[in-house]
Amino acid sequence: MSVMDEVRSGLGTDLRRLRKSKGLRIADLAALTNRSTGWISQVERGRSRLDYEDLKILAQAFELPLSQLFRRDGAVLAPEDTVLRADQRRALSADNSGAMDDLLTPMMAGIHFYSSELAPHTASERPRHEGDIMMGLVVKGDVQIRIGDRHHHLGAGDSFWSRGEAFSWLNPHDTPCTVVWVLAPLPDDPDA
């Protein structure tokens, strides 16, 4: 079993437990998420990939913060908790691109702080996060990014930021690349 299969299987098992703990049938969850019962069943059995939109919809259906689906142990963080241990986090595939994302803290005010392992010879599926502020630091490896119409080659220690522009990445190398990201909504005041 691959790492991705293990991740999907673990998340699927947790989603099944969560659904049952809420007293929901597969058909109930399908109705809440506007998805088919077959899709819900495939997710619970670890046979479907989930992207952020899927996770957001599931979190809304369960009335949970999205960050809760990244927790391995399923325990809800108390408001006074300020530490999230490495073994409490679950890395998830953000899309079918080859990126494994690890949410580093619970989301606060729409701010995402996460780490991604970009597999060799992979690329983002499409430009993402248009309309958000995105910042990143390449921790390990090399990556190519496109911000708007500008193309950049980055290595370990390089950082970047984008203010509301389309963003995409490419790892054409034989080694993985690790990037730490912060994603936040644009403020209402354009001069902020």
> CB of 61 within 8 A of CB of 69?
no
CA–CA distance, 113 with 134 (Å, rounded to integer):
10
Quick one: 104 and 40 in the same domain?
Answer: no
Quick one: 171 and 121 in the same domain?
Answer: yes
89's torsion region: left (phi>0), alpha (psi -120 to 50) or beta? beta
Q: Is 83 inside a domain boundary? A: no
Q: Is 89 inside a domain boundary? A: no
Stated pTM of the model: 0.64
Range of the domain at 139: 94-185
Quick one: 66 and 100 in the same domain?
Answer: no
Last residue of a domain, one of 70, 104, 128: 70
Q: Is 172 inside a domain boundary? A: yes
CATH number at residue 63: 1.10.260.40
Q: Is 33 inside a domain boundary? A: yes
DSSP code string of 6-46: HHHHHHHHHHHHHHHHTT--HHHHHHHHT--HHHHHHHHTT
Quick one: 39 and 108 in the same domain?
Answer: no
Quick one: 64 and 119 in the same domain?
Answer: no
Quick one: 60 and 102 in the same domain?
Answer: no
Quick one: 115 and 49 in the same domain?
Answer: no
Q: Is 84 inside a domain boundary? A: no
CATH number at residue 113: 2.60.120.10
Per-residue pLDDT of the chain (192 residues), as tens digits, is 343 444 445 778 778 887 888 788 999 999 999 999 999 998 888 887 777 678 788 888 888 766 666 655 555 555 566 777 777 666 666 555 667 777 777 666 677 788 888 999 999 876 665 668 889 999 999 999 999 899 999 999 999 998 888 888 999 999 999 999 888 887 765 555
The letter for the amino acid at 175 is T
Q: Is 11 inside a domain boundary? A: yes
Q: Is 76 inside a domain boundary? A: no
Domains held by the chain: number:
2
